[in-house]
Structure 1
Amino acid sequence: MLGGGVGYSIRREDIHELPRVKRGVEIEVKNTNDADFIVPDSREGWVRLLQKVLDALFVTGQSFNYSTVLVRSAGKPIHGFGGTASGPEILINGTAKICEVMKAREGKKLRSLDVLDIANIIGSIVVAGNVRRSAEIALGDPDDFLYLKAKRWDLGNIPNWRAMSNNTIYCDSYDHIMEGVWDGYAGNGEPYGFFNLGLSSKYGRTGEKSRENCEGTNPCGEISLADKECCNLAELYLNNIESKEELVECSLLLYKTQKAICALPFIHEDTNKIVHKNFRIGQGVTGLCQSFEKIPWLDHCYKELRKFDKEWSSKNNWPESIKLTTVKPSGTLSLLAGATPGVHPAYSQYYIRRVRMSSDDQLVESCKNLGYYVEYTKNFDGSLNRDTVLVEFPCTSGPDAKLAKDTSAVDQLELVKQIQKVWSDNAVSCTVYYRKDELNDIKEWLSKNYKNNIKSVSFLLHQDHGFDQAPYEEINKEKYNEIKKNIKKIKAQAISNGKQIEGLECAGGACPIK
């Protein structure tokens, strides 16, 4: 509800701690002033309703009714946080869905799939206002077949809310990957990512042992995190940096800002404690596939940054940072500076980039007037989500960009391995583009390199991946020019409602590369 992404575990060892679901609990909405619980018109009020639902179904076994008479109606402005209210209906419907999932397990413990669905339903409630984000990563067991089929849309009956999370398996060794994991790699489902907790918890850069207390990762997999810890990210545009000295100068300037943010107070005391203990930051690098000749500068920059952290931390009476560097997936933010995203090659020479916006955002009408194509987003079941639209922007990567279609999956993995060694002491977030005929090569490479070199990785078919309205779509030069000729030049736009564009990073739970 605060605009940040979350990661959560649905491993057996974690969800086993949850109690059995109580029998016979009835939770009903009663929109009167004398209900058992009247939901306050605030984020805290919505959270309190969820707490009461979980407490009733897990602990007390007591039925209750609630009222949303105080919750403002859909479309009303939210002055503090921005955007517009989603209205009480999404809260009522989401609460009913959570109750439905849990009541199906009365007298039993929840399964991993149930916990996944509850977290995803919560995410779908959170994003309803179209300004709030709901980036989620679910971390499950590699042999959990219910979980592995959660996004196999070829099997049918996939609830729309499962779009809310990037699904990943805990996997410390290639030997832990069951053959069933690969069943969704044929374009018939979402390929699951891999998270190497063993490597993340013991090492910084490859081969360098590190003190660490992480339990999971952030939604895009570039930052290992302890429980209740949060990210602190910034980015260096390597393609726009001209010398090793300039790289170090930019790095130290970013570092000072990130370090100061670590020292700020946070809302939750548990978060305060772990952030102020670890002082973890994630200084990223993007434009790597345009800057191969500059990659040797990164090791020098890292050493200078680590040395400066000792001095600056001592001067300000702060702990030294447990980790300092990363590589983000870096979708739209890289495009703004003409950079290929993070460690990824350019998607294509010419492509469409889709960006999500709230349907009632004044920018949508401006985009339509300028000639950009706009359509409603589609749910998993093919229905339309009329609260959110996609705006299509024609893009070109320039004549010298390294393209995904010219880069093998193994070459992409080798670059991740290299950057993990010379730069990132957190992790390198990478969605490896692959073709179906490369799967055997991917498996062989992972069997030899994964355990000691890769902290997190995910995969996506470059074509025929099965995603409707994917963030990137390859087009040819003729199509690009055809779209461009219908687009008017941008003039000053009077946008006064203060609403934010959705979809810049990790929108709707989806990685910006996926």
Structure 2
Amino acid sequence: MEIIGAGFHCNLSEVHLNQIDPNNWEEQEKAFKAGALAVAVLLHHKFDEPRYQYSREIDPIVGVSFTGLFDFFVNAFGIDWLKWWEAGRPAQWGITGKTTQYYLSDYFKQKEADYLNRWRDIVHTQVWDYCDRHGLRRPNRCTTVQPAGTKSLLTGASPGWHPPKAQRFIRRITFGKNDPVALACIDYGYNVIPSQSDKDEKGNLLTDPFDPRCSEWLVEIPIAVSWADLPGADAIDISLFSALAQMDFYLNVQGNYACHNTSATIEFRESEIEQLGTRIYEAIQNDEGYVSAALLARFDDRQSFPRLPFEPIDKAEYDRLSAEVLVRRKTHDFKKALHRYDLGDLAEAGPAGCDSDKCFLPDKQPESSN
């Protein structure tokens, strides 16, 4: 959770922007009003734990978040916005106009801020109005961007404000062996392989998911973002988006929408470390709203990390894998397939609690005191 503090509970909601028309202001207003009401009504809850109730009374905490922002802006601005990202989101980019010249970069930056400010204002107005009408203490800040990886997958959204891993990719979700949901996925046509942790006595990855030595499964799902077929989008390599470009977009979100922190993971290569460090220092010194961001190294050699949760693929591979899913599919009713295996008596079923890139990194062992 990206709400800073201790000894309290926070009410959270999330708007899936990839499902919303960028030109439909009424639809956007309804979505953020709904998100605001979802967190505001929970302020009526009374905690049995005194310290939580006391915290709620003196400082109620709510956070309306969103996911799919990147997809939303691609749909709003088109291929030129992606090209600006490809160029690193420079301040002076894309001169246009016949008589009066202006930069597309200025237009994009301002329009991003306009959307973000409008949504923030809708949320605060709705939450405060509800609190005033029901005699509740107003939260003094109501917007955040929470971690949204798994929930984003439900609607095919890029997580939070982040760019997707690629226009098309294989999503691998970890399940226990013979998990009812995984078995239903097999009937639905998705491929299943052993997880990264299942190896033979020589340390080689297992290939047969039904091998007795296999303990976990990876369900492989070919996925394409909503704008994958946008003309020219395939020519842009999202993995090359610079750390500085990510930082610039994150700061625009933090400065114009999030009154709490923004969940942010900046992906970088070794050559970008010094520039990124300098930019973070400048953001702090100049009071640009920077709070915190996770930093994650990019690994271009995927052979060193096989069977990752996200594996970028091209259109031809996506089309091939999608066709194979249809060939293997035994049923078009996933719910019916799930009921075939889930008898309702399993305490735990479904995806692993965490299967992100970071969860597969080995824990650092404490150094011996000897």
- Where 1:291 maps in the other structure, the secondary structure is helix
Q: Paired residue for 1:263?
A: 44
Identify unmatched segments of 5+ residues in structure 1: 1-217
Residue of structure 2 equivalent to 1:304: 122
Residues 20, 72 of structure 2: 8 Å contact kept: no
Counterpart of 1:476, as a letter, is D
State the Cα distance separating 1:484 from its structure 2 match: 2.1
Match of 1:454 in 2: 290
Q: Distance in 2 between matches of 1:491 and 1:267?
A: 46
Over the matched positions of the two proteins, sequence identity in percent amounts to 24
Q: SS of the counterpart of 1:347? A: coil
Contact 1:329 1:512 in 2 (8 A): no
Q: Which residue of 1 aligns with 2:323?
A: 485
C-alpha distance in 2 between matches for 1:314 and 1:424: 22
What CA distance in whole angstroms lies between the structure 1 residues aligned with 2:355 and 2:156?
A: 24
Deviation at 1:291, TM superposition (A): 2.9
Residue of structure 2 in register with 1:436 after alignment: 270
Choose from 9, 28, 41 the match for 1:247: 28
Check conservation: 2:63, 2:142, Cα contact below 8 A: yes
Distance 1:239 1:233, change over 3 A: same
Q: Is the Cα–Cα contact under 8 Å of residues 357 and 388 in structure 1 kept in the other structure?
A: yes
Out of 464, 486, 495, the residue aligned to residue 338 of structure 2 is 495
Q: Which moved more, 1:389-398 or 1:491-500?
A: 491-500
1:318 aligned residue: 136
State the AA in 2 paired with 1:227. Answer: A
Shift of 1:333: 2.5
2:193 matched to which residue of 1? Answer: 375
Q: 1:395 aligns with which of 223, 236, 239?
A: 223
Counterpart residue identity of residue 357, structure 1? F
Cα distance in 2 for residues equivalent to 1:342 and 1:372:
26
Is the CA contact 1:259–1:279 (under 8 Å) kept in the aligned structure 2? no
Matched, 1:415 2:243: no
C-alpha distance in structure 2 between counterparts of 1:247 and 1:328, whole Å: 19
Distance 1:454 1:386, change over 3 A: farther
Taking structure 1 as the reference length, the TM-score comes to 0.50
User: In 1, Cα distance between the equivalents of 2:357 and 2:47?
Assistant: 26
Q: Counterpart amino acid of 2:20?
A: I
Q: 1:512 to 1:478 in 2, by over 3 A?
A: farther
1:24-83 per-residue CA deviation (whole Å, 9 max, x = no partner) reads xxxxxxxxxxxxxxxxxxxxxxxxxxxxxxxxxxxxxxxxxxxxxxxxxxxxxxxxxxxx
Amino acid at match of 1:260: V
Q: What per-residue deviation string (whole Å, max 9, x for no partner) do you get for residues 410-446 of structure 1? A: 0110001001111001111121222232222212211
Is contact 2:37-2:126 (8 Å) kept?
no
SS of residue in 1 equivalent to 2:338: coil
Extract unaligned runs of 5+ from structure 2: 77-110, 207-212, 362-370
TM-aligned CA deviation for residue 367 of structure 1: 2.0
**What is the deviation of 1:473?**
1.3
Aligned length: 291
Q: Distance in 2 between matches of 1:271 and 1:394?
A: 43
Deviation at 1:259, TM superposition (A): 1.4
In the TM superposition, residue 500 of structure 1 has moved relative to its aligned partner by 4.5
What amino acid does structure 1 have at the position aligned with 2:14? E
The SS at the match of 2:128 is helix
User: Letter of the aligned partner of 1:253 in structure 2?
Assistant: A
Q: In structure 2, the residue corresponding to 1:494 is in which secondary structure?
A: helix
- Name the CA distance, whole Å, in 2 between partners of 1:311 and 1:270: 27
Q: Are 2:55 and 1:279 aligned?
A: no
The verdict on how the C-alpha distance between 1:289 and 1:315 changes in structure 2, with shifts beyond 3 A counting, is: same
Q: Cα deviations across residues 344-377 of structure 1 (Å, max 9, x unaligned)?
A: 1121122111112233421212222344232343
- What's the RMSD between the two structures over aligned residues? 3.2
The alignment partner of 2:276 has SS state of helix
* Matched residue SS, 1:283: strand
State how far apart, in whole Å, the 2-side matches of 1:257 and 1:434 are: 36
Contact 1:288–1:343 (8 Å) recurs in 2:
yes
Shift of 1:267: 5.7
1:246: Cα distance to partner?
2.5
- Describe how 1:74-153 pairs up with structure 2 within 5 A: none
Cα distance in 1 between the residues matched to 2:316 and 2:122: 47
Aligned to 2:354: 507
1:362 and 2:180 correspond? yes
Q: Is the 8 A contact 2:309 2:356 kept in 1?
A: no
User: Relative contact order (alpha carbons < 8 A, sep ≥ 6): 1 or 2 greater?
Assistant: 2
The superposition leaves residues 391-423 of structure 1 with CA deviations (integer Å, 9 ceiling, x where unpaired) of 111112213467632421101100010011110
In the aligned structure 1, how far is the partner of 2:222 from the partner of 2:119? 35
2:147 to 311, 316, 329: 329
Report the residue type matching 1:355 in the other structure: I
Q: Is 1:235 matched with 2:14?
A: yes
- Aligned to 2:160, the other structure's residue is in SS state coil
Residue in 2 aligned with 1:223? 3
Which amino acid letter does the alignment assign opposite residue 501 of structure 1? G
Distance 1:233 1:440, change over 3 A: same
- Contact 1:262–1:276 (Cα < 8 Å) also in 2: no
Q: 1:442 to 1:244 in 2, by over 3 A?
A: same
Distance 2:313 2:332 in 1: 27
Deviation at 1:335, TM superposition (A): 3.3
**Kindly tell me: are residues 484 and 437 of structure 1, through their superposed partners in 2, closer, same or farther at Cα, counting changes over 3 Å?**
same
Matched position secondary structure for 1:367: helix
